[in-house]
Structures are given as structure tokens and as C-alpha cells.
Amino acid sequence: MTTNTIRRLLLALMLFPGFSLIAQEIALPTDYLSTDFHKSRRQAFKEKLPPNSVAVIFANPVRNRANDVDYIYHQDPNFYYLTGYKEPHSMVILFSEPQMGPNGEMYDEVLFAQSRNAREEMWTGRRLGPDRAGEVLDIAQVLDHSAFKEADINFTAFDKVWFPQFHNDVRDTRSEADLYDLINQFRSKAGIPEDFNPRKHAIHQQIRESTPDYYQNLAEEIFRATRWDPGLKDDPVIQEFIGAGSVESRKKIAASIPKSNLDPQGLTNVMKQLREIKSGEELKLLRKAVSISCVGQIEVMKAMRPEMSETEIQGIHEFVFKKYGAEYEGYPSIVGAGYNGCILHYIENNRPSVDGDLVLMDLGAEYHGYTADVTRTIPANGKFTEEQKLIYNIVLEAQDAGIAACQPGGSMRAPHLAAKEVIDRRLAELGIIKEGESHNYFPHGTSHYVGLDVHDPGTGGPLQAGSVITVEPGIYIPAGSPCDEKWWNIAVRIEDDILITETGHENLSALAPRTVEAIEQMMAQKSVLENLSLPDLDKQ
Ligand code: GLY
Ligand code: MN
Ligand code: MN
């Protein structure tokens, strides 16, 4: 059933009394991703499954904040991308070929959705329930999540079973079909042992499927993997394979590894390929999230006063987000003045007055699931000092070089290499480092994909039209750095979201001023918040 058919049906139902619940749902925003989008993504996913294979994707866990208060629920982005379903305690199974159901019906997808429960819905909100989920999401087969326990799906009969890394923070609740139970039921049906280690398992299977002419390369690859996952070294099969002295002994090790259809990597790899390229619908939402974030930056530029706190500045950004209907921040907002700006993911935002310093503001509105990631750095007092301006302009030049390197077919590393070259050269010219000296003033990468996640999945391969990446060089000079004190506590990051196009790129966040002159001009403008006056609670 298409979205339009559902709308027509709901309108018809509204003509009858007693449908106030449905009528209220009609008043929701109308620009979410369409049912057809999610359906097309499932189709694209199924086409990438190997023959006779199955993929299982779980909803995110509900996470506890403290006592009886949970964090706001956020769906697993892969699960949302493939289904559009926003509720917890559910799972979706996608098959490479249609399967026959108990009544002879054929289906190649099944969602196990949360049951309706009037009492719980009164406290925590409405649920679609399996029946309506089938219609609204247009998924071939939707069953109550409690049906998975008895579902006749023989996972051992498939050539590949794709599944995600299991979360280790899933709580068992009173329900017998919560996420905890769904995962355990799946583990038991698929024969996944208690001590299953996805990395070890993947390496074992790689060894098993490798050809003798590749053994040496593979041994070196595995050895490199043990550097960032030292636990792998304790595994006897891995130890023996790396240390083996001959092709013959490696052949024996490979032959001793049992064949397994469990594949904890296929799902991740395909989701990287699919989510890297944004469709028109996705770009519309992403553009909106980015534009909202830019307006946040602009309004803060206008409203900034030196005596403002980091918290208040954060509040102005987030007020703008909500004013435009962006539900959340895509990641915890970063507002750091002076030294605090040197802390890359500073989220305390509790300095009482930003006076005298540069204020680094890295915030992204999340609009219908898609998040922006935009950083501007501005002087609390409205004018850059000479030192602040010099550092700022290096970062700006580095960012321009990085953005120029955003070309289809170009390397994902190219923006970073271009930005780093500028920063290294200019820092040496200012005498902050010696020429060729390695330094820690630019300690992070320059680009990542952005989308449903702020650090969105992608292949890392040549840049492709339709993907969106950040370009975000920075220079951070905390007090105590080995350079003249006049540079201390200057921290600058400038971050824009860049769409790769067929012919080059488009800066989606160009609306937010970037140059020293444009920022100072914007800061001199009147703010709509100027006359906002609230009572002084300390004087009451
Ligand atoms: N806001 C996090 C980042 O820039 O990657
Ligand atoms: Mn970023
Ligand atoms: Mn950022």
C-alpha cells in the first residue's frame, strides 16, 4: 500500500466518530522519508545478499539514564533506513529469495514488531502494532515480536547468515519478546555460541577461504589487525597461522577450520555501500538539517555577548533547531570558549562567561533522522584579535584547500592531505612549529560521511556523487604548548558539509558566514533576542 493510499484511507476514517487517535496522527509532519524510500532500500539490500542467504537486523536497545528514567529512544539507523519503523524491541529479517510461510504464502521480508499494549501506551506513547505496521510500512510480512520464538526459520539451512554486532547494553525486561529475548532466540536458532567473537570468526573464515598464494599477505594483514585488537593474539588458530613457517602448515590450519554460514561482516559492508550515496529524499532532509544548523550559527553570531555562558549559547542554537522542527541534536552540542575549544569533543559547555576568547561551536540539528555537522568559531567580543585572526585564516585556507579536493573519483583522504599541507606550512611560517616538525595542533582527520549518523557509514573508497562529507580542519593550541604564550588557548575549527556532485561539489552549509569579515559583519547585526528579558532569579 502506498503512502497516498494510506492517507486517503485515514481521511475516510476521520469522517467517522471515534477516530480521534488517527486524526491526530494526520497532523504529524508530512516530510518524513517515504514508505517507498524504505521499500526501495530493502530491495537494493536484498539484491546484494548472496544467493540462499538471510540478514537479521535488530532495533536499538532502550538505554537507562538513571533510576526509572530512560534516554530518549533512538532507532538503529540501519534498521530505520531499511524499515522506517521507529519502535524498540523489534527485528527485521530479509531473504535473498522468497520463502514459503505456514499458509503457503511467499515472503522475502518479515518484521517482528512490538505488540500494542493500552496500559503501556498510556505511559510511553502510541505504538503502531503489527497490523498497522504492515500497512503503514508496506512490509510483506509483519508479525508480533512474540511470534519469533516459534517462527519456523531454519537459519542453519542458509549459505550465509548476516547479522550485526550484538550490543552489550541490552536489558532484560518482564516481556518475553523484548530485544534481549529476540537476540537470544536468534542466537539459539542460528547456533551462535556464547563466546562468539565476530572478529576472530571473520579471520578464521578468511583463513579457511584463502588460497595458498595469498597466505603470506593474509598473515601480514592479520598481524596488523592484532595491533589494534590485541585479544586476537591469544587465539591459537590465529597465533599458529601467523607464526607458521610453510605454506603446507598454513594449508593444514585452513583445512582444520570448520565451514560456517555465520557472517557478522556482510551486513556492515553492504550498509556502508548503500548509505554512502544519498537519494533525493535523503538529501532534502539533510539539506534542511544543515540549513537549520546554519541559521543557528547566524542567530548566535548576532546574539553573542561576552558575558554569555557556553550553556546559553548552546541553548540559542538548540532553540533555533526546535523552532524549525528539528527533533534532536545529532550529537551532543559542543560550545567551547578558549581552552575548552581545545577539547575536541567538549560537551560540558558550562563556562559561565566566554568573554575575551574565541568560541568554538560544533552543533548539528537532526531533522527527521538526518543530522548536520557544522562548526563555526567566533570571537566572543565581536572582533578577532590579531593572533586569533592569523590562526583563523590558516584554518580557513586549509578548509578551502580541503573543499577544493572534494571531487568525484578523488580520494577520501585528499581533503585531509590538502588541509594538513596548508596547516603545517603556515604554522611553520608563524614560528609555532619548526619546518617539517611533527606536531599535535591538528590532531584529527578532516572528513567523514554524514547522514543518519553524524559519523555515517561509507566505504572510504573514491568519492562518489551523492555522498556528503565534512571538511573540518582545526588548530588547537592549549595553554602550556611549546610556543609563544600569545597563541595559547586559541582553538579554531571550521566545519562544512560538502555534497559531492557529478562535476565537483556543493557546500551545503555555505549559508553560515566563514570569513573573518563576514563573521564580524554578522556579529554587528541586531539580534531578535536582544529584548528578551527574563527575571533575575538571584534577586528575588
Ligand atoms: N561533531 C563531531 C565531528 O565533527 O566529527
Ligand atoms: Mn564532523
Ligand atoms: Mn562537528
Per-residue pLDDT of the chain (540 residues; tens, 9 = 90+): 444 444 454 444 444 444 444 444 568 899 999 999 999 999 999 999 999 999 999 999 999 999 999 999 999 999 999 999 999 999 999 999 999 988 889 999 999 999 999 999 999 999 999 999 999 999 989 999 999 999 999 999 999 999 999 988 999 999 999 999 999 999 999 999 999 999 999 999 999 999 999 999 999 999 999 998 988 989 999 999 999 989 999 999 999 999 999 999 999 999 999 999 999 999 999 999 999 999 999 999 999 999 999 999 999 999 999 999 999 999 999 999 999 999 999 999 999 999 999 999 999 999 999 999 999 999 999 999 999 999 999 999 999 999 999 999 999 999 999 999 999 999 999 999 999 999 999 999 999 999 999 999 999 999 999 999 999 999 999 999 999 999 999 999 999 999 999 999 999 999 999 999 999 999 999 999 998 999 999 987
Which amino acids bring their CB within 6 angstroms of ligand 1? 331, 362, 373, 454, 472, 495
Cell numbers at residue 79, please? 534498521
For residue 330, the ligand closest to its alpha carbon is: 1
Q: What is the pLDDT of residue 20?
A: 43
Domains and CATH numbers, the chain: 3-190 (3.40.350.10), 198-260 (no CATH), 277-530 (3.90.230.10)
Question: Do strands 141-144 and 106-113 pair parallel, antiparallel, or not at all (unpaired)?
Answer: parallel
Q: What is the pLDDT of residue 17?
A: 40
d(CA 342, CA 349): 13
Alpha helices (H) in 117-246, listed in sequence order: 118-124, 129-137, 179-190, 198-209, 215-228, 236-243
Distance 378 CA to ligand 1 centre (A): 17
Contact 427, 433 (CB under 8 A): yes
For residue 331, the ligand closest to its alpha carbon is: 1
Nearest CA residue ID for atom 4, ligand 1: 373
Q: Which atom of ligand 1 is nearest to the CA of 472?
A: 4
Distance 455 CA to ligand 1 centre (A): 8
Q: What is the pLDDT of residue 228?
A: 87
Distance 461 CA to ligand 3 centre (A): 22
Distance 291 CA to ligand 2 centre (A): 16
Distance 408 CA to ligand 2 centre (A): 20
Contact 299, 511 (CB under 8 A): no
Cell numbers at residue 516, please? 573573518
d(CA 78, CA 233): 31
**Beta bridge mates, 496:** 471
State which of 362, 363, 446, 453 you would mutate to test the pocket of ligand 1, scoring each by most atoms of that ligand within 8 A of its C-beta. 362
- Within 8 A by CB and 6+ apart from 221, the residues are none
State which of 374, 468, 472 you would mutate to test the pocket of ligand 1, scoring each by most atoms of that ligand within 8 A of its C-beta. 472
Distance 279 CA to ligand 2 centre (A): 21
Residue 47 DSSP class:
H
Q: Kindly list the distances between the CA atom of residue 343 and the CA atoms of 297, 335, 447, in Å, as whole numbers in the listed order.
A: 20, 10, 18
Q: What is the pLDDT of residue 25?
A: 54
For residue 375, the ligand closest to its alpha carbon is: 3
Distance 361 CA to ligand 3 centre (A): 8
Q: Which atom of ligand 1 is nearest to the CA of 362?
A: 1
For residue 497, the ligand closest to its alpha carbon is: 2
For residue 329, the ligand closest to its alpha carbon is: 1
Alpha helices (H) in 197-306, listed in sequence order: 198-209, 215-228, 236-243, 247-256, 266-276, 280-303
Exposed/middle/buried for residue 428 (C-beta within 10 Å: 0-12, 13-18, 19+)? middle
Distance 508 CA to ligand 2 centre (A): 14
164, 228, 214: which is closest to 190 by C-alpha? 164
d(CA 84, CA 109): 14
Q: Which atom of ligand 1 is nearest to the CA of 444?
A: 5
Distance 305 CA to ligand 3 centre (A): 23
Q: What is the pLDDT of residue 3?
A: 46
Nearest CA residue ID for atom 3, ligand 1: 373
Contact 80, 88 (CB under 8 A): no
d(CA 382, CA 389): 12
State which of 344, 416, 470 you would mutate to test the pocket of ligand 1, scoring each by most atoms of that ligand within 8 A of its C-beta. 470
